[in-house]
Chains A and B, each alone.
Chain A
Amino acid sequence: MSTGILSSHSAEVRTVIAGRTKRMRRRRLVVSLLVIGVVAVFLVTLMVGQTFYGPLEVIRVVFGQTVPGASFTVGDLRLPRASLGMLSGFAFGIAGVAFQTMLRNPLASPDVIGISSGASAAAVFGIVVLSLDGAAVSLLALGGALVTAGVIFLLSHRGGFAGTRLILIGIGVAAMLESVISYVLSRAAAWDLQTAMRWLTGSLNGAEWSSVLPLAVAAAVLTPLMLSHGRSLGALRLGDDSAIGLGVRVRRTRLFVIVAAVALLAIATSAAGPIAFVAFMAGPIAARLVGAGGSPLLPAGLVGALLVMLSDLVGQFAFDGRYPVGVITGVLGAPYLVFLLIRMSRSGGSL
């Protein structure tokens, strides 16, 4: 009798273990493929342009050797641009999926609920009205995004936290901030479309080390911290009560995730503008690639980096004119949104 229970138990346990190993293996495979993809696209971005440089030359430049001709084009022009694309995509991806997981809605990415607009509005104000540049703009954008997130969070906190209310209030705040951005831009001394596009849809044009550096530091500090909270964040997806039952400190986790995600997002936005829909698309794509189980944070970051770099390549070279990267991701976002919504209706709303 007892042996019967034991053996049936162990059979179930074995199935669970087998499933887990299978998912882990798949996850590891997908993550390594994504890493390889990111590195490969990064190198391609460095290689192509007005003049083509071979992979060896590019790698030598990246490692600091002086190569006649290539050092300037690759090292000074293409390297900051590629780094900015990779880092901002990574930051958007992680921040987006953190919000989507926390609010339990794939549509509730920070660019739809107004937090990116907060960073843009502050940055535009800093550049146009206060004539700031560099690190000051990054700081201001960070402040703007944090304040916006705080305001949205407080306004939606009425007798307890409610994700739905937060999302709707975010949409309202976004609409208001968008009009502030439009107004400030219309007051800019010269109506420079290039600058405008950067703050309306995001662009990698004119990338400089001074804007890449804060982003790199932020990503290096905040990514490990976010990843260490991945498990608690996953538990939040079950709802507050279940998460508390599992021993998650719900309020602390939520506060930490919001602050970290907003900081990443704001610094990325201040460097590259609110690259449209990357934060929105990266999470669901990553969740689909990796499958169930495990935290979607890291894969989403990698998918985001790939999305931005590939879209920038497309925007630069696929058409007659040159498009800023945000326009390409925005156009990609439209059909993807439809696909996501149709799939959501079938699976009942999860990522």
Chain B
Amino acid sequence: MRLTWILLLLVAIIAICAASVAFGVRSVSPGDILAALGGDTSTVARAAVVARIPRTVLALLVGAALAMSGATMQAVTRNPLADPGILGVSSGAALAVVVGIAFFGMSSPYAFMVVAIGGAAVAAIFVYLIGSLGGGASPLKLALAGAAISAAFASLVSAILLPRVDIVESFRFWQIGGVGGATWDRIAVIAPVLVAGAVICLVMARGMNSLALGDELATGLGVNVLRSRLISSAGAVILCGAATAIAGPIGFVGLVVPHVCRMLMGTDHRWLLPFSALGGAALLVAGDVVGRLVARPSEIDVGIVTALIGAPVFIWMVRRQKVREL
């Protein structure tokens, strides 16, 4: 059953990726697409197709990273509403990069990534501490702390960017995420880090299963709860920070995808994490294609598309929860 779902999803991803290369703001004939895939960039149409390839790859990577990060955060906080966007972790990464650009003249993708991961970590620790003040972290407290922190960080980002005419063009990028600026160089920087984060999360999958039982039971089963939680969180923060460094803050992927996957695959994280990654990749590429197609001749950033899809799912989930669980 699980394997069938994974196979189906893989087929879907291949189809979506083909669509992502074939469709865009500019309509391209099938012949041009084939020629472009052969490496020919002699016409504008073929060059456009070639430019869509790194973009598709980036969307795959970022989507997978965000979904896996969300699944891990949900396991660590034992909170169904956890998501890098809602908990303010992405906005922490964005703020850190903006500070780096504005005050330290950062420009290399490596620096962006390191700083973004640091910012994500600080924001994650911060939100978790605030949310668990006064007796345990409830979904409500975590979500409120995350929403308030992201609003505050967004204000700081505007305060830093507004007077700097030289960097103000990047302002929008740090408010809404998108994968339009993908290049192979930047993907090459980010890919190893994402792989490392994913490996950390996958190794900890068994620990996450134990965490789901509750701290006391998990301790009773011989799991070092604190250690599992810290290492898993580190993996989630690395994934989310690196993804935000290259694509800006993209919300709700980490919320929606693991939730749907849990309904299909059950709660075993050894299956849930890789399946979520596949699902996230599919969702983000599909969202990017939709964003390119519905608003021709301009584009809708994929961050907007995911928010429009994700927020209703979030609301639906809240409505399903019993009040005392919130």
Interfacial residues, chain A to chain B (CB-CB below 8 A): 105, 107-108, 111-112, 155-156, 158, 162, 164-165, 167-169, 171-176, 178-180, 182-183, 186-187, 191, 193, 197, 200-201, 276-277, 280, 319-321, 323-324, 326-331, 333-334, 337-338, 341-342, 344-346, 348-349
Contact = CB atoms under 8 A, between A and B. Distances in A.
Interface stretch (B47-55, B58-66, B233-241, B312-320): B312-320
Interface stretch (B17-25, B67-75, B145-153, B222-230): B145-153
A327 B298 contact: no
27 contacts: A112-B144, A158-B319, A165-B318, A167-B140, A168-B326, A171-B314, A176-B312, A180-B308, A183-B304, A186-B172, A186-B176, A186-B298, A186-B301, A193-B171, A197-B162, A276-B155, A277-B151, A280-B148, A323-B163, A330-B151, A330-B155, A330-B158, A331-B152, A331-B159, A337-B152, A344-B133, A348-B134
A18 B251 CA distance: 54
Contacts of A165: 318-319, 321, 323, 326
Contacts of B162: 193, 197, 321, 323-324, 327
B81 interface: yes
A349 B144 CA distance: 13
A346 to B, nearest CB: 8
B83 to A, nearest CB: 10
A176 B326 contact: no
Contacts of B312: 172, 176
A333 B134 contact: no
Contacts of A112: 144, 147-148, 151
A334 B303 CA distance: 24
Interface residues of B, number: 49
Contacts of B231: none
Closest 8 CB pairs of A and B: A330-B155, A345-B133, A321-B163, A334-B152, A176-B311, A179-B307, A345-B134, A172-B314
Given A165-B326, A168-B318, A172-B314, A179 B156 contact: no
A304 B215 CA distance: 44
Interface in B136-177: 139-140, 143-145, 147-149, 151-156, 158-159, 162-163, 168, 171-172, 175-176
B254 interface: no
Contacts, number: 150
A179 B134 CA distance: 33
The residue in A108, A345, A346 that gathers the most chain B C-beta atoms within 10 A of its C-beta is A345
The residue in B85, B149, B307 that gathers the most chain A C-beta atoms within 10 A of its C-beta is B307
Interface string B238-279: 000000000000011000000000000000000000000000
A327 B314 contact: no
B130 interface: yes
A183 B177 CA distance: 12
B319 A155 contact: yes
Contacts of B81: 168
Contacts of B310: 175
A72 B280 CA distance: 59
B179 to A, nearest CB: 16
B253 to A, nearest CB: 13
B38 to A, nearest CB: 35
